[in-house]
Amino acid sequence: MEKAEFIWMQGRLVAWDDAKVHVLTHTLHYGVGAFEGIRCYECEDGRSAVFRLREHLVRLDQSCHILGIESPYTVDQLVEACLETIRANRLKACYIRPLIYVADGEMGLGSAMVNPIHASIAVWPWGAYLGDEGLANGIRVRTSSFQRMHVNTLMTKAKATGHYVNSILASIEARRGGYDEALMLDVDGYAAEGCGENLFVVRGGRVKTPPIATVLEGITRNSVIDILRDQGVVVIEERLTRDEIYIADEVFLTGTAAEVTPVQSLDDRRIGAGRPGPITQRVQKEYFEILRGRRAAFSQWLTYL
Ligand SMILES: *Cc1c(COP(=O)(O)O)cnc(C)c1O
């Protein structure tokens, strides 16, 4: 990865190579921690803006609340800290990774309640997560043999570090099999989401996305629903089966990292024409226009540096 100069740790900017933790850091062993993935874009006018910064940091705070740990910083403090970290690194565009973790101290499971809770924010330049080629022409997806965790196994509304074991098992399986990404089904067998992206399916001009019960409530998902409705497209939150995806006209995945990525096939069944369809292209184009600061109607989603 491309390093930046500084990482924010507990209120201080430290050199990238010095941003270290103790090997007995509780989160490293047990996975109780919360994180965010946020992007800062270079706008048309040369300024830089972070997309939905406050919404991400509110979710970070809520993830901590769900996990039963208390963030050591308020949302307002973290908003400032993110902006400070980007400015210090003099980056025009970057990915932003805040992390709240249980530090070292005691080692028992109950120590999540007594050990200090720490925060860090790293930023680095990061291009298209599923590749420029994927963004333009669509990716190949395979249904995972791993299920999305049950709502009462792990908490699906928290973006928790430990949850990513589930996502990474699915991701590695898909990539080893020669696919770009995995589709995860929920424990009832309905389509849930990608490893770190929400799912959208277009059939007969209407757009469907799984309800939030079993999936992470993606901020890109919410943004895309707003964009589609603004474009006059009907969006329904409804359970989907994998065969409904096989016969869909268009499918795409959304996430801060993946942005709006078209899907060209699922389990080797071509979707629609096997190319990004018109609704996918229109929403993807509008999403990028908003990020570049070209849409006054959505300017409240941007925080300029
Ligand atoms: C982060 C994440 C997403 C995407 O959320 P955004 O807020 O759009 O970045 C989707 N699914 C999972 C499991 C995630 O962790």
Question: What HEC string does 16-67 produce?
Answer: HHHCCCCCCCHHHHHCCEEECCEEEEECCCCCEEEECHHHHHHHHHHHHHHH
CA of 106 to the centre of ligand 1 (A): 31
pLDDT at 243: 97
CA of 211 to the centre of ligand 1 (A): 14
Q: Which of 52, 163, 216, 226 to mutate to test the pocket of ligand 1 (most atoms within 8 A of CB)?
A: 216
The rounded Cα 19 to chain-centroid distance in angstroms is 23
pTM to 2 decimal places: 0.96
CA angle 258, 263, 264 (to 5 degrees): 145
Write down the mean pLDDT value for the chain: 96
pLDDT in tens, 106-163: 998 888 889 999 999 999 998 877 778 999 999 999 999 999 999 999 999 999 999 9
pLDDT in tens, 16-34: 999 999 999 999 999 999 9
Average pLDDT (38-63) is: 97
Per DSSP bridges, beta strands 48-51 and 38-42 are antiparallel
CA of 115 to the centre of ligand 1 (A): 28
Is the pLDDT confidence value at 192 over 80? yes
Residue nearest to atom 14 of ligand 1 (CA): 196
Residue 159 designated active-site: yes
CA angle 28, 180, 257 (to 5 degrees): 55
